[in-house]
Amino acid sequence: MKHFTHIADLGPEGVQEVLDQAVAWKANAPGHHLAGRILGMVFFNPSLRTRTSFEAAMIRGGGNAIVLEVGNGVWRLESRDGVVMDGDLTEHLREAVPVLGRYTDFLAVRAFSDGGGLDADDADSVINAFRRFAGVPVISMESAREHPCQGLADMLTVRENFGDLQNLPVTLTWAPHIKRLPRAVPNSFLLSAAASGCDVRVVHPEGFDLAPSVLEQAHEYARATGGKVSVLRDRAEAAAGSKVLYAKAWGPTDGTAEVRLEDWMTRDSDFDMMHRDAIFCHCLPVRRNLEVSETVLDGPRSHVIDEAENRFHVQRVILDRLKGGA
Ligand code: CP
């Protein structure tokens, strides 16, 4: 693995290897495995967990992290090729990225979807420019298409609760939100769960489809792992007997779909039809009493804090695997 920007960089086998190592390292911390290494972290968008968990992983591993917030003490960056740079953007990724690669051993990047649609998300132009020009390993801290470290942390959390992931029924449900959020998190949960052999049920209102390319990749992983992927409209059907309810908001496919938000907020009653030990997951940040009721978030089924902790554990493994190329 030269970079980790998409679940495809690991594939189903690699996902399981990372989870195995994360479990082992949670029990026995690895010491200063990143001594002398520098991680450059480039943020085009804000963060709480991602920034802190990567910085913590570098510091606990004996290395260092340099954080750059684009447009906040750092030049605003152009990513489009062939444009006349006569606007507000000062520097092109074609110069900025290789320069950063000369100072650091890895580059981690957060560049959300710009809302340009499913094809633009698929092209993932900013993270792919980093892959092309960095000269050092690149890690996604969430790009237009995926948030792969989140997907790994989610599956580690599920595995800690249920052990064997093979054919484990897990439900990814659309959640209400006041903003049209990107699809990177639901894409990554779907791909990570399919790569782990789960029985993944995705449920969302009409007009909120995930990208065909992501669904195709998830089906391919399910075929390889003996898992299953279903896309449903009915929440009760998707939740029946399931062991995980993963709620996430994302925007409408064509920008126009309307939905009754109160029909989709996760409540305690959603768990009536699920497995008796079912857990609730969310990547955070979460909007209380909009995406999910506070009684679910504050109740015993919620594992959202564990998921956030697990970001640290899986990222430590990813950094270690990439350091060979650093
Ligand atoms: N889940 C996640 O990526 O959180 P942040 O946006 O706070 O980094």
- The 8-class DSSP code of residue 210 comes to P
Nearest CA to ligand 1 atom 4: 49
Q: How confident is the model at residue 167 (pLDDT cuts 50, 70, 90)?
A: very high
Instruction: State in Å: Cα 292 to ligand 1 middle.
Output: 17
Is the predicted pLDDT of residue 178 greater than 80, yes or no? yes
- In order, the DSSP letters of 118-129 are HHHHHH-HHHHH
122 residue type, one letter: D
Instruction: State in Å: Cα 47 to ligand 1 middle.
Output: 5
Identify the pLDDT of residue 260. Answer: 84
Please provide the average confidence, as pLDDT, over all residues in the chain.
96
Ligand 1 atom closest to the Cα of residue 46 is 6
Is the predicted pLDDT of residue 235 greater than 90, yes or no? yes
Instruction: State in Å: Cα 169 to ligand 1 middle.
Output: 25
| Packed helices 304-322 and 49-60: angle between N→C axes, nearest 10 degrees | 50
Domain 7-146+311-322 is classified in which CATH homologous superfamily?
A: Aspartate/ornithine carbamoyltransferase (3.40.50.1370)
Is the predicted pLDDT of residue 258 greater than 90, yes or no? no
Give dist(CA 248, CA 176) in Å, integer: 8
Ligand 1 atom closest to the Cα of residue 149 is 3
* pLDDT tens figures, 93-140: 999 999 999 999 999 999 999 988 999 999 999 999 999 999 999 999
Q: Tell me the best of 44, 45, 49, 67 to mutate to test the pocket of ligand 1, counting ligand atoms within 8 Å of each CB and taking the most.
A: 49
Q: How confident is the model at residue 259 (pLDDT cuts 50, 70, 90)?
A: confident
CA 298 remoteness from chain centre: 23
Instruction: State in Å: Cα 84 to ligand 1 middle.
Output: 34
Ligand 1 touching residue 283 (CB < 6 A): yes
The torsion angles phi and psi of 250, rounded to 5 degrees, stand at -150, 165
Mean pLDDT, to the nearest integer, of 224-232?
A: 98
Q: How confident is the model at residue 255 (pLDDT cuts 50, 70, 90)?
A: low
Ligand 1 touching residue 171 (CB < 6 A): no
Name the token pair of 212.
């065909």
Burial of 214 (0-12, 13-18, 19+ CB in 10 A): buried
Which CATH number is 149-307 given?
3.40.50.1370
Identify the pLDDT of residue 325. Answer: 56
Burial of 234 (0-12, 13-18, 19+ CB in 10 A): exposed
> Is the separation of the CB atoms in 302 and 266 below 8 Å?
no
Give dist(CA 194, CA 141) in Å, integer: 21
CA angle 320, 322, 323 (to 5 degrees): 65
Ligand 1 touching residue 184 (CB < 6 A): no
* pLDDT tens figures, 38-68: 999 999 999 999 999 999 999 999 999 999 9
Identify the pLDDT of residue 261. Answer: 80
> Is the separation of the CB atoms in 96 and 132 below 8 Å?
no
Identify the pLDDT of residue 104. Answer: 98
Identify the pLDDT of residue 288. Answer: 98
Instruction: State in Å: Cα 123 to ligand 1 middle.
Output: 22
> Is the separation of the CB atoms in 146 and 191 below 8 Å?
yes
Instruction: State in Å: Cα 286 to ligand 1 middle.
Output: 10
Instruction: Pinpoint the residues of the chain covered by CATH 3.40.50.1370.
Output: 7-146+311-322, 149-307
Nearest CA to ligand 1 atom 3: 50
- The 8-class DSSP code of residue 45 comes to S
Q: How confident is the model at residue 257 (pLDDT cuts 50, 70, 90)?
A: confident
Question: What share of the chain in percent tops pLDDT 70?
Answer: 99
Instruction: State in Å: Cα 51 to ligand 1 middle.
Output: 8
* pLDDT tens figures, 272-322: 999 999 999 999 999 999 999 999 999 999 999 999 999 999 999 999 999
